[in-house]
Every structure is written in C-alpha cells, then in structure tokens.
Chains A and B, each alone.
Chain A
Amino acid sequence: MKKIFILIILILIVSCSAEESTNIQITDSIDTKEIVESPETVENSETEESEPVIEDDKYTTLKTSQDTFNALDEAVDALE
C-alpha cells in the first residue's frame, strides 16, 4: 500500500514536471521566434535607412504669390 502511494506521488511529480517543461518549451519557442524575427525587422529598417535618399527632383508649381515666395525662400537658402 505504501509502495502504491509512493508510486502515485512520483507519477504526480513526474507529470507536474513534464507539464512545466512543456510550458518552458513553449515560452522558449516564443522567445526563439521573437529572436528570429527581430533581426529581420532590424535588418529591414537598417536597409531602409542606409538606402540613398532619392532626390525629389521635380518642378515647383507657381500659381500664387505664396508659391513664388516659397520658391524664393528655398532658392535664397541655397545661395552661396
């Protein structure tokens, strides 16, 4: 009887530790997933930053005096 009781306790302990191990494994897999995904994200953002800025090389619309003043401000800022 005593042996059966010890056996039940052992089974319970084993089953408990097995469940805990599964949980750790799940968490581990999530962490791994995060770790695996993170470098990609970083890599992507790094790629975007390191790409050469494409100059917005287009003409200005000159309709109102405000448009002309805006172009003037930009041109004067660019002067030597």
Chain B
Amino acid sequence: MKKLAIIILLTLLFSFFVSAKIGSTGGVISVDPIYGTVTIDCELFDTPRNRIKCRLENNPTEETIPEPCRVLTKKGKCIQYYEDVIPCYAMEGQAKDECFKEKAGFSKKSIKAQAVLDNNWPMRYYISALLYDLEEMVEDAFTDEKIDIDTAADLIDELVSIKIDVLLEKPGKIIKPRIKALKSNWPGALS
C-alpha cells in the first residue's frame, strides 16, 4: 500500500514536470505503459509557432505535413515538392541552386532568364526552397546553441508565414517587405 502511494506520487510529480515544460498551449503527452517512454505529439499544439517550438525541443522522428502546405487546397502537390527538394539541402554552392531550380521547374539557369519564360509557379517554388534553406540555417544554429529556442521558433514561424504567402500566390509587393524585415532581424550568428 505504501509502495503504491509512492508510485502514484512519483507519477504525479513526473507529469507535472513534463506539463510545465510544454506549457498549456495544447499537445499531447503519452507514456508507454510498458517501457515508460514519453511521446509528445507536437501536431496537437494549436499554433504553428508552438508546433515549431515543440519540434525543435523534441526533434520528433515522424514526418509530418509541412506547415505551409497545410493551408493550401492542393496539399498533395506542395507535399510532393517538399519531398522532392529535400536531397538539395545536402548540396552546396551552385549545385544546391541548380537542384532547387530543377525541382522548381526552371528551364533556365538564371532567375532573369526564367522570368521571361514563366515567372509564377517555378519562381514561387524556388522562393519556397530558398526560405526553407534559411529555415535549415536557423535549425542548425539552434542545434549548435548559437541562438535560443524562442529566437529559432520566431524566425521559423516567420519563414513559414512568408512561404504561405508565396504559395497562396500573393504578389511580390506583399512578399518583398516581409523578406526585407526578416533580413533586418536576421541574427548576426546566422550570417
């Protein structure tokens, strides 16, 4: 009886600490009854920023729908593009740019030359890839402890939000000032 009371008390204490870490913005914690491992479902957090922060903290292995694709009516094409472009991030320099452009559907090497032929979807996918490139830099900087979790979550949230505008076919005059603001708030540790 005494042992049972101690176990209950320990379980309550443990759940209190986990809850305190996550906060009260949603999310689900499940404890494996056999192994006692804790699984946190970041998908159930209510805002993109909290989901992003949860993923940064817990580094979940399960693949989820990319944040920008969630708001689109044609999610499938967006998800496919994200899957296609992933190998490009292992590249560097001109090879990375070539890979981004190829996956985005460019038929020319330069932006100027491509814009003459088709400046809408290939350009929008390319911009998304570049924004995701910045996102990778933020994640790496967080992993290397160059920036704290809140700075990383804020930057990624803003990058995701700009990507949504890009994929919702918002005009350049709306996207341009957002990128300018992002650039001015870009931490020196990431340059």
Chain A residues within CB distance 8 Å of chain B: 55-66, 68-69, 71-80
**CA–CA, A51 and B105, complex, Å:** 30
Interchain CB contact (< 8 A) of B126 among A55, A66, A75: A75
Size band of the B side of the interface? 35 or more
Residues of A within 8 A of B131 (CB): 72
Chain B residues within CB distance 8 Å of chain A: 92-94, 96-98, 100-101, 108-115, 119-120, 123-124, 126-127, 130-131, 133-134, 137, 171-172, 175-176, 179, 183, 186, 190-191
Tell me how many residue pairs across A and B have CB atoms closer than 8 Å: 93
**CA–CA, A6 and B125, complex, Å:** 99
Chain A residue with the shortest CB-CB distance to B190 = A65
Q: Check B130 against A59 for contact (C-beta < 8 Å).
A: no
Residues of A within 8 A of B171 (CB): 79-80
**CA–CA, A78 and B124, complex, Å:** 10
**CA–CA, A44 and B123, complex, Å:** 38
Residue of B98, B111, B123, B130 ringed by the most chain A CB atoms within 10 A: B130
